[in-house]
Structure 1
Amino acid sequence: MSDSNTTDFTNPSTFILLGIPGLEAAHIWISIPFCAMYTIAMLGNFTILFIVKREPSLHGPMFYFLCMLAITDLVLSTSTLPKLLSIFWFNSREISFSACLTQMYFVHSFSGMESGILVAMAFDRFVAICNPLRYSTILTNSVVAKIGLAVVLRSGILALPYPLLARRWAYCRTNIIPQFYCGHISVVKLACADIHISSYYGLFDLFFVIGMDVFFISVSYTQILRAIFHLPTKDARLKTFGTCISHLCAISALYIPDLFSSLMYRFGHNVPLHFLVLIASVYHLFPPVLHPIIYGVRTKQIRGRLLQLFTHKKT
């Protein structure tokens, strides 16, 4: 095993994921909060989907986008967390080369989808606040479906170069990945070739997708704030702005850990490796955990329907 991990080979059939390097002795204890958060993410997002499906009054653009976000969170967390828990519990560190590239594609693709859905939700808030009388005519079911399809196609296409580039390199150093999942940079760093094209594409995708999405979100909220400041009373302004709080919290839960993790992993050369891996795990766990909590607490319709379900069960 050690020879295959460290001696000469080309395009290994398997990679070895280390989990959180340097904290192997604490893996069992670390698994407890990770397992709890993954359970919360699964239950929370499935609950959102269940409530929206069951409640006809929630069949509208805002909640359709919220369902898209919940599905994306479920896929994104499930693409990495079960493997992480298997490393923690069963020391199951091997992952095939094809499975590694598949995981890489899913992670980058659904991360981009999550960002795109937040842009769609910002557009929803813009129309609802700036053009409330035309809301139902602008955001029809057909338009919502087209926006969702555009988000999926954009992310799916932009994520394709990640596994394609990773497959073309020869791996002759080691097949040990000091991570808990097959991230693009983590994998291509193991190649014995010039990987600048992979690194540059990763940075391009990061700043192009997030930069463009943040730009559109900023434009939307600039118009939203202008409309809010033109409202006649303070109570009306606070009430209107309150409809945006959930979305702003969701944006923070996604972009802050994502940007911090990406920049730290590329430029934090003096930062301990286990800290970088923990930051990456925060990015994969926090949005799926926080999004259903944020919308469950802040959205009156979902909160009310959830309370009805629990009170009905008790009676």
Structure 2
Amino acid sequence: MPTGQIRKALSGFYYVYDNDQLIQCRGRGVFRNRGESPLVGDFVDYTVEGQNDGTITVIHERKNNLVRPPIANIDQAILVFSIKEPDFNTILLDRFLVVLESFQIEPIICLTKSDLMDEPLEQKIQQYIKEYEQIGYTLLMTFKDDADIDDKIAPLLKGKTTVLAGQSGVGKSTLLNTILPSLNLKTGIISEALGRGKHTTRHVELIAVCEGLLADTPGFSSFEFDLMEKEELSSCFPEFVEIQDECKYRGCMHVKEPKCAVKDGVESGKIKAYRYKHYIQFLDEIIDRKPRY
């Protein structure tokens, strides 16, 4: 039985890539009965019916999957954040980073609209860049009409399945159009009243680009902690992971416990106070979450 990868899902059909061609497939009814659904990015077994039609029979085990956009087996996410309009927001960035860490998706932080910076803002942004790089994250800064954008991003896409994420209006569509001019996504104009972009994406598709696969959707703008337990949260802060074995108590939550290495790290400046503050906010959010039945 042949195996391929779903590269596009549209109107109930799944387009499976195998041997340099796309086979239009339906999912087996058994998936519906089990409450399962094939996703873009899934590796699947399928049977061929006719010249270019088939049925998906088996969905292989996933490395990970997101709900919005519905996509599986992602290696990395480019997090697109503008420096201004809307302003750079560390709590939103940390929310994205935490959820990506929980799915074991490598984040790349891409800062846009750097041409709007004045000198004080540039100093502030450069400090943030330094701090996030010290944690171990990769950061890029792009400029308006950046001729080198392909050279900056292309090597990062090679051999990876990549999605884009970020607030609305930060330039995700513009960035995609620069990498893939053929997409010609509607970039829209930011509504100043709402502070939101107007771009909507109709379907998810993986496109071969720069020897990797890129989802052509900037289709998710926020992440929730619905699937995360409070005990998992600290493992999504790499600088906490680095020192938390030094905490006196095993399973330390880094809140009220004595002799906590993380709290000591905040005190000494090894861990940035705003990152710890965000950890506490996210922890409260997870604890306050209504139980699901």
TM-score (norm 2): 0.23
Q: Which has the higher helix share?
A: 1
More strand by share: 2
**TM-score, scaled relative to structure 1:** 0.22
Q: For CA contacts below 8 A with separation 6 or more, give which structure has more relative contact order.
A: 1
